[in-house]
Amino acid sequence: ASTRSISILGSTGSIGTNTLDVLTHLGGRETFEVVALTGASNIALLAEQAIAHGARLAVTADESQYVALRDLLSGTGIEVAAGQSGLMEAANAGADMVMAAIVGTAGLAPTLAAARRGADIALANKECLVSAGDLFVAAVRQGGGRLLPVDSEHNAIFQVLEESQRHAVERVILTASGGPFRTFTREQMANVTVETARAHPNWSMGLKISIDSASMFNKALEMIEAKHLFGLAPEQVEVIVHPQSIIHSMVGYSDGSVLAQLGSPDMRHAIGYALEFPRRAKLPVERLDFARLARLDFEAPDEARFPALRLARLAMTRGGVQGAVLNGAKEVALDAFIAGDTGFLSMAQITEAVMEELAHLPPAASMDDVFAADLEARQRAKARLG
């Protein structure tokens, strides 16, 4: 097999380290040449990864870490860069495939650059589709690369949505674990801490997405992500709570048939599928033992306790830059919750208030409008936090 090349934006995170692990299982440098790796604060790990995987370029998003990273890599021949321009350099470094695994809106500009130059995009960073929606999809299409979903739900849908049957798709059903507060009352949720919110029952993930899972903002982002990724109407996107996280998502067709993708909750599965598509990789993920599982449970999501789902529907129905507004306000509120400056329930309250204030914003004609809406939403969310 001919060697392909890959860059990983956000290699030091949860998705990033899982991606490097998958690369090792796929045959290491014989299969994929690693071009660029990027991190932010964790430069010791970044340097270690760059050396172990033979990267050509290592980039820290944090400019103040440039000298320290350069010192860690001196004498290795690995090129070092930093800051926003460094991230753009990594995105443009010419790899066939780019794994987009930076957390939050910070991932948008470099992923967009990689899409525009025609790289295949393995997309973990859901914020690209939530904020930039159709503009991001159009950038991938114009660039000519593939868009391969890594988010486990979307990867599942991608696996069971046959292109030739697209006209017959009635609905997609995103599964949600319900997170650590699935059975909590609103009163109980009002006082939860970061430590309890980050403890996801099934998946091991980065801090922010873990807390977003507890509030179901993660599912809200995924609803918007699915709409853009698969060209769906808002009412075609459904959510069902499935506490075991064994069914990763489903597609319902016009004949009443529902196709589901199942697996153990291990992100290496979705990552491997995206990296090796259209082939299936050989992966060491745990095999399902149905006799031991015994049962799979389902329940309707409660939008009164998890208003994020209602906000996603509102954003999808309004369209335009409402996804960018929802995400920008949510990121500010989430950072405030992590810092201990606001309560768990106020994340949805702040986001909803900002969405109402900015409901009038016109649709985005260009990425500048997306970034402007994101910034405006952040400023308004900050103003509400005082």
Does the footprint of ligand NDP cover residue 245 (CB under 6 A)? no
Compare residues 44 and 262 and give the one whose CB is closer to Mg ion.
Answer: 262
Cβ-proximal residue to ligand NDP, closest one:
13
H-only helix segments in the chain: 14-25, 43-52, 66-72, 83-91, 108-116, 127-143, 152-160, 186-190, 194-197, 207-215, 217-230, 267-276, 290-293, 308-318, 322-338, 346-357, 367-385
The item of ligand NDP, Mg ion, none sharing an interface with residue 133, based on CB under 5 to 8 Å by kind, is none
Q: Degrees (nearest 5) of the Cα angle 66, 68, 70? A: 70
Q: Quick one: which segment of 26-34, 48-56, 118-126, 242-250 binds ligand NDP (CB under 6 A)?
A: 118-126
Does the footprint of ligand NDP cover residue 129 (CB under 6 A)? no
Dist. CA 76–CA 54, nearest whole Å? 9
Q: At closest approach, how far in Å is the CB of 218 from Mg ion?
A: 6
| 140-159 positions binding Mg ion, by CB under 5 A | 151-153
Q: Quick one: which segment of 34-42, 132-140, 309-317, 322-330 binds ligand NDP (CB under 6 A)?
A: 34-42
Does the footprint of ligand NDP cover residue 122 (CB under 6 A)? no
The item of Mg ion, ligand NDP, none sharing an interface with residue 14, based on CB under 5 to 8 Å by kind, is ligand NDP
Q: Quick one: which segment of 6-14, 23-31, 161-169, 230-238 binds ligand NDP (CB under 6 A)?
A: 6-14
Q: CB pairs under 8 A, 24+ apart, for 261-267? A: 261/155, 261/156, 261/157, 261/159, 261/160, 262/288, 263/288, 264/288, 265/152, 265/202, 265/203, 267/14, 267/15, 267/18, 267/150, 267/152, 267/203, 267/205
Residues making contact with Mg ion (CB under 5 A)? 151-153
Residues making contact with ligand NDP (CB under 6 A)? 10-16, 39-42, 61, 101-103, 106, 124-127, 151, 203, 205-207, 209, 267
